[in-house]
Copies of this chain bind each other. A is one copy, B any other.
Amino acid sequence: MESQPSVSSSDIVVTGDRPTGPLHLGHYAGSLTTRLRLQHLCRQYILIADLQALTDNAGAPARVADHVLEVALDYLAVGIEPGRSTIALQSAIPELAELTILLLNLVTVARLERNPTIRDEIRQRGFARDIPAGFLMYPVSQAADIAGFRATVVPVGADQLPMIEQSNELVRALNRLAEREVLVEARPLLSATQRLPGLDGKSKMSKSLGNVINLTASPEELRDRVKRMYTDPGHLRVEDPGQIEGNTVFAYLDAFDPDAEEVAALKQRYRRGGLADSVVKQRLATLLEALLAPIRARRAELASRRHQVADIVDAGTQVARAAVAQVLGDVREAFKLRREVRGAG
């Protein structure tokens, strides 16, 4: 699906989500499908990034905690296989905190403030000067997540590219300090899928705006949400010509309809006039239901044995800890740190 150099079996992928709500179709199109593919190609760590979620949810930790297992259920329901992907809980890997603290010494405040992703998010969240310190630092925490696993590939949207650059800068700074290649740089794997718009045609999907379709949506919810999707407000009568640009239904068809030729034909008819919104929506509703039905069933089955799902995350976390502990050991060595003074000199 991507146009970048292909991923090989020696690659290591790190990816993940902030557990602040249920995963939705935007996640599915934007990242989950990529992960499903990558888990067959190379080693993949998927972090449930609860610490990162706390950097802008410190006042609502229960919201974060409540979604940890939900996100794990979503992963397994869509087909992430614990035998192929390591699902791990970020906050249960204390080595990542230590790595972050050490990397903080290798970047200036000014550099963090220049980070375009951070600038955008500060604006979106309306932080202005009241940015939580943890939030300004989170690119460093993210660098620890990436470099801590010696990740070589990080799937991202285009707006996240500065985060990879920031991480690679820290990798180079640490390697200069160590005078050897302790950490490795990662390359971005850009998603080929355009970011899906919100159902209301707003550019940003947002749980709080309710303009998303969760992976857990019931058949009724799904139909209802598709019915209320934003199309072309000027397309009043079936015979009128309609616009494709900004038309959410077509954006979803582009992302989810396996028959690209048929979608192209539909677009042509819609533009010309003579194709009802309801027809296109019916097609979308049918194919989304075909996508979500098995996910929904599998999720219900998994939810009936949540303890086992928890065990999968806990086991993955142990695997992840061991990986990061090794890298942390090397980084501590670069900083001449030792767990014991005995034997140091």
Q: Is the CB of A132 within 8 A of B110?
A: no
Q: Is the CB of A69 within 8 A of B335?
A: no
Q: Kindly supply a per-residue 1/0 record for chain A positions 95-108, scoring 1 wherever the CB is within 8 Å of any chain B CB and 0 otherwise.
A: 10110111011111
Residues of B within 8 A of A112 (CB): 133
Separation in Å of the A54 CB from the closest CB of chain B? Answer: 5
Residues of B within 8 A of A307 (CB): 342
Chain B minimum-CB-distance residue to A313:
B341
Number of copies: 2
Question: A337 near B: Cβ within 8 Å?
Answer: yes
Chain B minimum-CB-distance residue to A144:
B101
- With A72-B341, A89-B341, A341-B72 in contact, do A335 and B101 touch (Cβ < 8 Å)? no
**Most B CB within 10 A of own CB, among A95, A112, A339:** A339
Separation in Å of the A144 CB from the closest CB of chain B? Answer: 10
Q: Is the interface of A mostly helix, strand, loop or mixed?
A: helix
Question: A338 near B: Cβ within 8 Å?
Answer: yes
Q: Is the CB of A306 within 8 A of B108?
A: no
Residues of B within 8 A of A311 (CB): 342
- With A98-B98, A110-B129, A132-B104 in contact, do A61 and B336 touch (Cβ < 8 Å)? yes
Chain B minimum-CB-distance residue to A66:
B345
Question: A310 near B: Cβ within 8 Å?
Answer: yes
Question: A162 near B: Cβ within 8 Å?
Answer: no
Residues of B within 8 A of A91 (CB): 332, 337
Q: Kindly supply a per-residue 1/0 record for chain A positions 125-158, scoring 1 wherever the CB is within 8 Å of any chain B CB and 0 otherwise.
A: 0000111111111001100000000000000000
Question: Which residue in B66, B133, B334 is a CB contact (below 8 Å) of A109?
Answer: B133
**Interface positions of A from 50 to 77, Cβ below 8 Å from B:** 50-51, 54-55, 58-59, 61-62, 64-66, 68-69, 72
Residues of B within 8 A of A64 (CB): 336
Question: A340 near B: Cβ within 8 Å?
Answer: yes
Question: A81 near B: Cβ within 8 Å?
Answer: no
Chain B minimum-CB-distance residue to A51:
B101
CA distance A40 to B343 in the complex (A): 31
- With A129-B108, A177-B59 in contact, do A134 and B341 touch (Cβ < 8 Å)? no
Q: Is the CB of B338 within 8 A of A92?
A: yes
- With A98-B98, A133-B140 in contact, do A55 and B105 touch (Cβ < 8 Å)? yes
Residues of B within 8 A of A65 (CB): 336-338, 344
Residues of B within 8 A of A135 (CB): 105
Question: Which residue in B94, B105, B313 is a CB contact (below 8 Å) of A134?
Answer: B105
Question: A330 near B: Cβ within 8 Å?
Answer: no
- With A92-B340, A341-B310 in contact, do A105 and B131 touch (Cβ < 8 Å)? no
Residues of B within 8 A of A62 (CB): 336
Question: A232 near B: Cβ within 8 Å?
Answer: no
- With A98-B97, A335-B54 in contact, do A131 and B109 touch (Cβ < 8 Å)? yes
Residues of B within 8 A of A129 (CB): 108-110
CA distance A131 to B108 in the complex (A): 5
